[in-house]
């Protein structure tokens, strides 16, 4: 019996705003599509949230024994800067500013993103498709939508006919919006002459002569619209109907609403069965934004090089901090909160190490390991309740420490099971890693220097027994000490 048959996983489905029992379309296979980054800048805190959230989902589903295909795209074309002006592509704009080929920008920031995700121990997805690599698929889908009567060509661009679509389907079923309200609330937009209605959105956009990211199409040279890539690529790799679609809450409207409309218009299927949305990140209670001056990249966080940061925070601290909040809640970053998370993580990892030192006895200790197991899974089954799972881990940590200090005991069976569960929960599911301090190398240097300084003092006192012992023990670790007239040098032997 697979684990997924024993565990009833409930996930919050944005489609009806309720927690629903997760049942895959074709078990044991699970298909997930998550909206990835638009690669035009360094990865920041906002990128980490969905990445960690859906990494947790991915890890848990795999742990339960599902065979998961996890598709997370890279958007390297198609996000318009603004609908009101020239509609300049973000990546194109960045390329202009930095005098680069657009694909250079894309490659550079894709690499940066991957580095940051690896540091956060976010597993790479099964497939990471790029929008620019799926122009044909997007054109085909746009054409299908035209043929089905839900899109029209206008002056070299193709627009989705939202009003027409809404006659037979409900545009707004995901975000809870009502088309009439949107129409009455419509703002005066530029280029509206091309669109039949203000709410229509582009499937294909004509490229102005200055636009260097362009592809040939039957409608002329242009580039794909904002939302089409995800519909086209999810269909290609997961099929017309798949299990879970994820992304940030900010994408709920219009992005995901448009995806549903496109999929229905093209194939008749509304694509995903479960829609999951992670909530946003705030900094000191404020939305993170470039204009607010509180925009923190992951590298700045890891190195502490931002004026708002009192110190650096390791990738694992960031990951742990995010997991201590439920993915559906906003999470506020502050030095105080991060510092608390860091200490908590150290405590947890300390208990993990303490586990190795415990000596089992014949008597069973007070901790109910079976209940710990049940409660851990129960927490995860309840819409990925990582904060509750972590709370249970802290309870276990307390028991481990109490036992180590001689105030409780543990049987061999308990110990074995606890070790196994700690491994499963901490490493497999939460995806935490041993605390790898980025300063470890620096620390080693300082430590050896300190030890050799002390050895110098010892030598002055002619305690050669101790000084020789320091040298030979260091040598046993591969550190070769070379005495100089007035000091020392040392090196690490390969």
Partner RNA sequence: GGUCGCGUGGCCGAGUGGCUAGGCAGAGGUCUGCAAAACCUUGUACGGCGGUUCGAAUCCGCCCGUGACCUCCA
Asked if 110 touches RNA (CB under 7 A), the answer is no
Using CB under 7 A as the criterion, what x/- string covers residues 388-407 for binding RNA? x-xx--xx-xx--xx-xx-x
Nearer to RNA, 135 or 331 (CB): 331
Asked if 357 touches RNA (CB under 7 A), the answer is no
Q: How many CA atoms lie within 13 A of 437 on its CB side?
A: 10
Using CB under 7 A as the criterion, what x/- string covers residues 15-34 for binding RNA? --x-----------------
- Whether omega before 28 lies within 30 degrees of 0, making that bond cis, reads yes
Asked if 408 contacts 365 with a C-beta cutoff of 8 angstroms, the reply is: yes
Nearer to RNA, 27 or 387 (CB): 387
Structure tokens at 344: 């908590």
Which residues in 230-259 contact RNA (CB under 7 A)? 247-255
Structure tokens at 126: 């099964």
What are the CA-CA distances from residue 276 to residues 34, 307, 311 (Å)?
9, 34, 33
Burial of 419 (0-12, 13-18, 19+ CB in 10 A): middle
Which of 267, 294, 317, 324 is close enough to bind RNA by CB under 7 A? 324
Which residues in 121-140 contact RNA (CB under 7 A)? none
- Whether omega before 254 lies within 30 degrees of 0, making that bond cis, reads yes
Q: How many residues bind RNA (CB under 7 A)?
A: 74
Which of 27, 220, 350, 360 is close enough to bind RNA by CB under 7 A? 350
Which residues in 168-207 contact RNA (CB under 7 A)? 175-177, 181-182, 185, 187
CA dihedral sign, ordered 302, 305, 309, 310: positive
Smallest gap from Cβ 220 to RNA, in A, equals 22
Which residues in 420-479 contact RNA (CB under 7 A)? none
Phi, psi of 124 (to 5 degrees): -70, 145
- Tokens 């049942």, residue located: 23
Considering only 23-31, 92-100, 273-281, 484-492, which stretch makes contact with RNA by CB under 7 A?
Answer: 273-281
Phi, psi of 169 (to 5 degrees): -130, 170
Which of 286, 305, 440, 472 is close enough to bind RNA by CB under 7 A? 286
Smallest gap from Cβ 373 to RNA, in A, equals 16
CB atoms within 10 A of CB 425: 24
Which of 30, 158, 331, 430 is close enough to bind RNA by CB under 7 A? 331
Asked if 385 touches RNA (CB under 7 A), the answer is yes
Considering only 43-51, 136-144, 237-245, 259-267, which stretch makes contact with RNA by CB under 7 A?
Answer: 43-51
Which of 62, 63, 67, 81 is close enough to bind RNA by CB under 7 A? 81
Nearer to RNA, 50 or 431 (CB): 50
Asked if 266 contacts 227 with a C-beta cutoff of 8 angstroms, the reply is: no
Asked if 158 contacts 238 with a C-beta cutoff of 8 angstroms, the reply is: no
Nearer to RNA, 320 or 481 (CB): 320
Question: What is the C-alpha separation between 67 and 491, in angstroms, rounded?
Answer: 48
């Amino acid at each position: 019996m697979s684990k997924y048959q024993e565990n009833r996983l409930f996930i919050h489905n944005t489609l009806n705003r309720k927690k629903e029992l997760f049942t895959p379309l074709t078990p044991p296979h699970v298909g997930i599509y998550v909206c990835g980054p638009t690669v035009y800048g360094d990865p920041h805190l906002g990128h980490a949230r969905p990445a960690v959230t859906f990494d947790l989902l991915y890890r848990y589903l795999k742990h339960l024994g599902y065979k998961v295909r996890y598709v997370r795209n890279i958007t390297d074309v198609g996000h318009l800067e603004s609908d009101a002006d020239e509609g300049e592509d973000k990546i194109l704009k960045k390329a202009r500013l930095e005098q680069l080929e657009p694909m250079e920008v894309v490659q550079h920031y894709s690499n940066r993103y991957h580095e940051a995700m690896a540091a956060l121990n976010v597993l790479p997805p099964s497939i990471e498709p790029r929008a620019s690599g799926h122009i044909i698929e997007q054109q085909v889908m746009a054409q299908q939508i035209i043929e089905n009567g839900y899109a029209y060509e206008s002056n070299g661009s193709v627009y989705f006919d939202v009003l027409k679509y809404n006659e037979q389907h409900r545009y707004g079923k995901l975000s809870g919006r009502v088309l009439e309200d949107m129409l009455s609330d419509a703002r005066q937009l530029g280029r509206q002459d091309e669109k039949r209605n203000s709410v229509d959105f582009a499937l294909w956009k004509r490229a102005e002569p200055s636009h260097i990211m362009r592809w040939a199409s039957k409608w002329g040279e242009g580039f794909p619209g904002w939302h089409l890539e995800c519909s086209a690529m999810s269909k290609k790799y997961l099929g017309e109907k798949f299990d879970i679609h994820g992304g940030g809450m900010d994408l709920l409207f219009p992005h995901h609403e448009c995806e549903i409309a496109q999929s229905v218009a093209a194939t008749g299927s509304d694509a995903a069965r479960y829609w999951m949305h992670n909530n946003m990140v705030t900094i000191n209670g404020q939305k993170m934004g470039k204009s607010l001056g509180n925009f923190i990249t992951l590298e700045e966080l890891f190195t502490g090089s931002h004026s708002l940061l009192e110190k650096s925070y390791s990738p694992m601290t960031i990951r742990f901090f995010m997991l201590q909040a439920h993915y559906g809640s906003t999470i506020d970053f502050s030095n105080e909160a991060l510092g608390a998370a860091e200490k908590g993580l150290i405590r947890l990892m300390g208990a993990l190490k303490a586990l190795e030192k415990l000596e089992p006895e014949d008597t069973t200790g007070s901790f109910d390991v079976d209940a710990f197991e049940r409660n851990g899974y129960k927490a995860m089954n309840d819409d990925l309740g990582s904060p509750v799972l972590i709370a249970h881990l802290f309870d276990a940590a307390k028991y481990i420490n109490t036992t180590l200090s001689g105030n409780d005991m543990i049987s061999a069976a308990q110990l074995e099971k606890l070790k196994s569960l700690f491994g499963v929960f901490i490493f497999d599911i939460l995806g935490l890693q041993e605390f790898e301090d980025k300063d470890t190398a620096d620390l080693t240097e300082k430590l050896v220097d300190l030890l050799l300084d002390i050895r110098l003092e010892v030598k002055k006192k002619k305690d050669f027994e101790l000084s020789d012992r320091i040298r030979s023990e260091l040598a046993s670790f591969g550190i070769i000490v070379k005495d100089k007239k007035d000091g020392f040098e040392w090196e690490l032997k390969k």
